[in-house]
Amino acid sequence: MWRDRFIALVLVVFGFAGAAQAQTWVLGQPSTAAGTGITWYGATTSQWNMGYEFTCNVSNVTVTHLGCAWPDTEAHACALFNATTQALIAQVTTSTAATAGAWRSGALTTPVVLTQGQNYVVASLKSATQGYIGVNSSAPAAWHPTAGAITHIRDRWASTTTVTTFPSSTSSQWHWGPADFAYTTGPGITVAATAGTSQNVYANSTGTGGNGISAGTFTLSANSSGAATLNSINITAQGTGNDSNA
């Protein structure tokens, strides 16, 4: 049996999952050195999960890392929560820091895509033997972003021994911790489709790929922002021919 059909055009429609782009840290990892609006506190026996609440203002924001800065060099647990439901979304343990007060972070095994217009909370855990850094409203503006993809709403904390406890207490004046996260925005790929050459296509024909005749090509390439994973391809054939013997 055969199908006498001419393939005139091949169109490619694709789906993709994420892009490996340059990361943006919400606070920009500013200096934590003691100064105007920034105070270092010594070790206390209290244990706190501390961070801040924020709003995601745009679509296609993907959280890739959680991080923090403490007056030590130790690894710390960090977590991301939905501020409305208080559900835990992601957690990670950071690397150690080279110097006390330096920012440190950990990559999420599965990056998290945020919902535009939704509020979230990022937090980091302090143990009973560690100190902390307090950042108040007189600190540089970078600590309290009010415009852009992510905006700071309020600071949050909870007295707890685990990072998975939602920080239900609030403060409008301080960053306790502090915690932060890195994200990417938008896709980072380019696609181009090329029409194929008209040709007969027969049932059970073999060709490029082993199960058919190549009727067109497409190119999927990374742009300057990174690469993506191809999930699906839809192909549409147009032409004329006799299908009576197919």
pLDDT per residue over 99-130, tens digit each? 999 999 999 999 999 999 999 999 999 999 99
What DSSP state is assigned to residue 203? Answer: T
Structure confidence at residue 232 (pLDDT): 56
Within 50-155, residue ranges assigned H as helices are none
- Across the chain, what does the average pLDDT equal? 79
Tokens 């270092």 locate to 40
Tell me the mean pLDDT in the region 217-225. Answer: 50
Residue 165: closest CA among 69, 48, 53, 45: 48
Tell which wins on pLDDT, 201 or 103.
103
Distance, CA of 111 to CA of 107 (rounded, Å): 8
Tell which wins on pLDDT, 153 or 237.
153
Asked if the model's pLDDT at residue 4 lies above 50, the reply is: no
pTM for this predicted structure: 0.70
pLDDT tens for each residue of 156-199? 999 999 999 999 999 877 776 689 999 999 764 445 556 655 55
* Domain residue ranges in the chain: 4-18+190-242, 24-185
Structure confidence at residue 25 (pLDDT): 95
Dihedral class, residue 186 (left if φ above 0, else alpha if ψ from -120 to 50, else beta): left
What CATH number does domain 24-185 carry, 2.60.120.820, 3.40.50.300, 3.30.460.10, 3.40.309.10?
Answer: 2.60.120.820
Tokens 């090329």 locate to 194
Asked if the model's pLDDT at residue 201 lies above 70, the reply is: no
